[in-house]
């Protein structure tokens, strides 16, 4: 199923310092870019393969294919062989074409945005929300240059504003969600529809790409008059409690389903929790997975992530990929983290190892069992495959996404960008000497992690 499919992600080391630049007033840090293959999948026979026996692979230390000093408030997306890096709220876009190895500045959007939602369809970018609220608040009708959504065609190189939702619709949609993109939920649905909603309110907008019109799910007269397909009126969307605040939730749409993921840090052991909302049934589903036994296996590792910052990456059908990080520490007696949590005499650890897990999950609805006391029906979550990479240091991952085979790890070009272009974008690339020093640090630390602590280091920490 994966056929050498590739995931790219970027982030910075957790101990990486932030540096304020007086030149452009931006806080910057060193961002690393990585490319990995989607794990090989062993399909369960008859859908009954036990989740305790996934295909597991241990990989070598993960190394970045690019290191750039970027403003901390940047976000990226990919279309085909192109990466688009957006300088948040500044309205500058840097693109990289992996086929040609060229960097260049892309045309700016029609309106500056802060962390908007981006949907890719038919090789085009649809950018939604994230508008900077005007002084004095939002006024209707919306100004002509105040476009809630616009799209970019890389082949033509132009941004085109799309129609705004009508005023009656916007009156029903909380303006906080209109301006706070992390409060929004967006998803690409079947029949080329874009959903815009919020988990705090059961109000759903649908944008029909082919017709270029907005409507509400519940506005049946509007849909019938324009001969548009419709979904039932929803009342339960805002009733699904979750473990994360709305600004930490990243949803993905598949068909008529919305999926979101979190970690339950209250209980021990830690659990992966997936919730799904079926738009056609107006029903929530929920399932959980023991991270320690189902993903980490026999290793006494500790989950490093506070929340799944990348969310679920949709692969196909009901198959998803999830990135998560773990750590393993040893005390002076060679005991792992499991003993550390239980012992009052724990000594400072002498060596730590960090790992990135790339996990393929299959998620399916359980329709033959009743709802629980909270109103959820069940989800079945099966681990199909895991690949485990060594990390030099734990990362704060900004985002991850599925890309085409031009970003295959074995074929990656060095992402080089000239200084003048970086300055125009508002970035500063580390000097050649710094890049070489970072590379040497990666190699030294990776060798130390691989070889383990020396005898002198163990004696020193006793």
CA angle 61, 381, 1 (to 5 degrees): 60
- Taking 50 as the threshold, does the pLDDT of residue 347 lie above it? no
Q: Which of 123-132, 159-168, 274-283 has the lowest mean pLDDT?
A: 159-168
- Taking 50 as the threshold, does the pLDDT of residue 324 lie above it? yes
More confident residue, 457 or 197: 197
| The pLDDT of residue 6 | 92
Cα(203)–Cα(256) distance, integer angstroms: 16
- Of the candidates 409, 430, 305, 408, which has an alpha carbon nearest to the alpha carbon of residue 359? 305
The mean pLDDT of 270-276, rounded to a whole number, is: 89
More confident residue, 53 or 460: 53
| The pLDDT of residue 146 | 74
**pLDDT band at 113; cut points 50, 70, 90:** confident
| The pLDDT of residue 339 | 42
pLDDT tens, 248-261? 667 888 988 889 89
CA angle 268, 270, 272 (to 5 degrees): 150
Average per-residue pLDDT in the chain?
74
Is 210 a domain residue?
yes
131 secondary structure, DSSP code: B
| The pLDDT of residue 152 | 94
Is 66 a domain residue?
yes
The mean pLDDT of 118-139, rounded to a whole number, is: 79
Distance of CA 216 to the CA centre of its chain: 27
Cα(426)–Cα(89) distance, integer angstroms: 12
Sheet holding 213-216, edge to edge: 185-189, 193-198, 201-208, 213-216
Q: Which of 68-82, 245-259, 288-302, 431-445 has the lowest mean pLDDT?
A: 431-445
- Taking 90 as the threshold, does the pLDDT of residue 9 lie above it? yes
- Of the candidates 279, 256, 99, which has an alpha carbon nearest to the alpha carbon of residue 191? 256
**pLDDT band at 362; cut points 50, 70, 90:** very high
Q: In the chain, what percentage of residues exceed pLDDT 90?
A: 19
| The pLDDT of residue 201 | 66
| The pLDDT of residue 140 | 62
| The pLDDT of residue 217 | 64
- Taking 80 as the threshold, does the pLDDT of residue 219 lie above it? no
Is 1 a domain residue?
no
113 secondary structure, DSSP code: B
| The pLDDT of residue 196 | 86
**Dihedral of the CA atoms 329, 330, 336, 339 (nearest 10)?**
-110
- Taking 60 as the threshold, does the pLDDT of residue 244 lie above it? no
The mean pLDDT of 59-80, rounded to a whole number, is: 82
Q: Which of 7-21, 52-66, 274-288, 447-461 has the lowest mean pLDDT?
A: 447-461
Distance of CA 383 to the CA centre of its chain: 19
Number of domains in the chain: 1
Question: Do 70 and 427 contact (CB within 8 A), yes or no?
Answer: yes
Cα(41)–Cα(382) distance, integer angstroms: 12
| The pLDDT of residue 233 | 52
Residue 349 half-sphere exposure, CB side, CA atoms within 13 Å?
A: 16
Is 334 a domain residue?
yes
Dihedral sign, CA of 16, 21, 27, 33? negative
| The pLDDT of residue 41 | 76
More confident residue, 88 or 310: 310
**pLDDT band at 264; cut points 50, 70, 90:** confident
Cα(373)–Cα(422) distance, integer angstroms: 55
| The pLDDT of residue 381 | 96
Tell how strand 377-391 and strand 55-61 pair up.
Answer: parallel
- Of the candidates 189, 180, 86, which has an alpha carbon nearest to the alpha carbon of residue 133? 180
**pLDDT band at 320; cut points 50, 70, 90:** very high
238 secondary structure, DSSP code: G
Please give the backbone phi and psi of residue 365, each rounded to the nearest 5 degrees, phi first. -75, 145
Is 95 a domain residue?
yes
The mean pLDDT of 371-386, rounded to a whole number, is: 91
- 42 three-state secondary structure: coil
More confident residue, 444 or 395: 395
Domain, as residue range, for 260: 6-460
Cα(208)–Cα(273) distance, integer angstroms: 32
Cα(308)–Cα(321) distance, integer angstroms: 12
| The pLDDT of residue 38 | 92
Question: Do 170 and 178 contact (CB within 8 A), yes or no?
Answer: yes
- Taking 70 as the threshold, does the pLDDT of residue 112 lie above it? yes
Q: Which of 103-112, 208-217, 428-437 has the lowest mean pLDDT?
A: 428-437
Cα(244)–Cα(177) distance, integer angstroms: 17
- 337 three-state secondary structure: helix
- Of the candidates 251, 314, 296, 249, which has an alpha carbon nearest to the alpha carbon of residue 7? 314
- Taking 50 as the threshold, does the pLDDT of residue 376 lie above it? yes
More confident residue, 14 or 200: 14
């Amino acid at each position: 199923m994966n056929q050498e499919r590739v995931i790219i992600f970027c982030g910075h080391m957790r101990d990486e310092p932030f540096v304020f630049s007086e030149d452009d007033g931006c806080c910057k840090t060193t961002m690393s870019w990585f490319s990995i293959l989607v794990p090989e999948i062993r399909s369960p026979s008859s859908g009954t393969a036990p989740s305790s026996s996934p295909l597991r692979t241990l990989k070598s230390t993960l190394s970045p294919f690019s290191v750039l000093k970027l403003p901390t408030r940047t976000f990226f997306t990919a279309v085909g062989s192109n990466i688009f890096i957006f300088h948040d709220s500044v309205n500058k876009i840097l693109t990289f074409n992996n086929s040609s190895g060229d960097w260049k500045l892309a045309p700016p959007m029609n309106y500056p945005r802060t962390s908007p939602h981006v949907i890719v369809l038919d090789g085009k970018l649809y950018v939604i929300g994230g508008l900077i609220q005007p002084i004095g608040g939002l006024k209707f009708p919306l100004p002509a240059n105040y476009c809630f959504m616009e799209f970019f065609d890389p082949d033509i190189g132009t941004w085109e504003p799309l129609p705004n939702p009508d005023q009656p619709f916007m009156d029903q949609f909380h303006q906080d969600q209109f301006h706070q993109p992390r409060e929004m939920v967006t998803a690409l649905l079947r029949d080329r529809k874009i959903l815009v909603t919020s988990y705090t309110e059961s109000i759903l907008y649908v944008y029909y790409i082919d017709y270029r019109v907005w409507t509400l799910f519940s506005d049946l007269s509007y849909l019938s008059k324009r001969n548009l397909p419709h979904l039932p009126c929803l009342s339960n969307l805002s009733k699904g409690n979750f473990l994360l605040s709305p600004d930490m939730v990243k949803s993905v749409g598949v068909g008529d389903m919305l999926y979101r993921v979190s970690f339950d840090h209250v209980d021990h052991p830690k659990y992966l929790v997936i919730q799904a909302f079926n738009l056609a049934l107006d029903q929530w589903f929920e399932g959980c997975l023991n991270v320690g036994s189902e993903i980490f296996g026999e290793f006494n590792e500790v989950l490093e992530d506070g929340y799944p910052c990348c969310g679920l990456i949709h692969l196909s059908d009901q198959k998803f990929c999830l990135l998560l990080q773990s750590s393993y520490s040893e005390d002076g007696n060679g005991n792992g983290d499991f003993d550390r949590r239980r012992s009052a005499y724990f000594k400072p650890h002498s060596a730590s190892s960090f790992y990135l897990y790339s996990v393929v999950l299959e998620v399916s609805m359980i329709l033959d069992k009743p709802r629980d006391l909270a109103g959820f029906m069940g989800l079945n979550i099966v681990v199909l495959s895991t690949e485990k990479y060594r990390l030099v240091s734990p990362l704060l991952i900004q985002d991850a996404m599925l890309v085409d085979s031009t970003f295959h790890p074995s074929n990656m070009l060095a992402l080089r960008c000239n200084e003048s272009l970086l300055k125009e974008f508002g970035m500063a690339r580390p000097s050649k000497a710094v890049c070489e020093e970072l590379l040497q640090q990666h190699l030294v630390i990776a060798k130390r992690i691989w070889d383990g602590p020396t005898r002198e280091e163990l004696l020193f920490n006793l």
